[in-house]
C-alpha cells in the first residue's frame, strides 16, 4: 500500500494515522483496481478541498488556493493544513508577495536572482541552485517547490515540525516563526 493512502484516511477521519484500518483499506484498494483507487483518491481529495474551503479559521485569501494546496499536499505526503498555515504566515495568500529579503510568492521561497542573489555563503551565492523569481511567481510552481522543500526539511529533522519550520522560515525569527505557523496549524484543525 502506498503511504499516500494513510494520509487520505487520516485527513478524512480527522486523525493522523489509523493503523488497524490501513491494512484493510490497502487490501481494498488492491482489490478494486487502479481506476477505482484513483477515483476514490480523487473523491478523498475533493472532500479535503471542500473541508479546506469551509474551514472558517483559514483566511479567504488562503482558502482561494485550497485546491492547489490539497493537490500538492497529496503529492508530497503532507497535511494540507500545514501548507495552508505556512502560506498564511508567509504571504497571507498573496501570490505576488515579495519580501524585503527577496523571498517570492505564496510560500515566500528565496530565488536565485533578485535581492536574494546578494546573500553569500561559504561556497558562493546561498541560493544559486534555486529557481528564478519568474518561476516562483507562478503559484503552482511556488507551492510545489515550497512544499517539496518543507517536506525535505521535515524528513531531515526526523519528523520534527518545529525544527523543520525553524529552518524553513526567516533566519532572524527562528523558533518564533515555527511557533507562529504551528499555532495557526493547530487552529485550523
The catalytic residues are: 90
Of 139, 143, 114, residue with least CA distance to 126:
114
DSSP run (H or E) holding 124 = strand 124-125
DSSP single-letter state for residue 114: G
Q: Which three cell numbers, joined as nine digits, stand for 81?
A: 493544513
User: Rounded to whole angstroms, how far apart are CA atoms 28 and 56?
Assistant: 34
- Strand ranges inside 23-154, DSSP E: 120-121, 124-125
DSSP run (H or E) holding 183 = helix 175-188
CA distances 67 to 42, 127, 140, Å, are: 12, 29, 10
Does residue 121 sit in helix, strand or coil? strand
Q: Are 111 and 136 in contact (CB under 8 A)?
A: yes
DSSP run (H or E) holding 120 = strand 120-121
Amino acid at each position: 500500500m502506498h503511504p499516500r493512502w494513510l494520509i487520505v484516511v487520516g485527513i478524512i477521519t480527522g486523525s493522523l494515522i489509523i493503523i488497524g484500518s490501513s491494512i484493510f483499506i490497502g487490501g481494498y484498494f488492491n482489490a478494486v483496481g487502479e481506476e477505482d483507487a484513483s477515483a476514490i483518491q480523487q473523491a478523498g481529495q475533493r472532500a479535503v478541498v471542500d473541508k479546506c474551503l469551509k474551514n472558517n479559521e483559514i483566511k479567504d485569501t488562503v482558502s482561494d488556493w485550497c485546491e492547489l494546496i490539497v493537490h500538492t499536499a497529496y503529492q508530497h505526503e503532507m497535511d494540507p493544513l500545514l501548507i495552508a498555515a505556512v502560506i498564511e504566515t508567509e504571504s497571507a495568500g498573496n501570490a505576488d508577495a515579495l519580501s524585503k529579503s527577496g523571498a517570492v510568492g505564496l510560500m515566500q521561497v528565496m530565488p536565485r536572482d533578485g535581492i536574494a542573489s546578494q546573500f553569500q555563503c561559504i561556497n558562493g551565492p546561498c541560493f544559486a541552485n534555486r529557481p528564478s523569481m519568474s518561476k516562483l511567481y507562478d503559484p503552482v510552481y511556488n507551492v510545489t517547490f515550497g512544499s517539496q522543500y518543507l517536506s525535505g526539511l521535515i524528513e531531515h529533522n526526523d519528523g520534527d515540525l518545529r525544527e523543520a519550520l525553524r529552518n524553513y522560515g526567516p533566519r532572524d525569527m527562528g523558533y518564533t516563526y515555527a511557533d507562529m505557523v504551528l499555532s495557526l496549524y493547530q487552529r485550523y484543525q
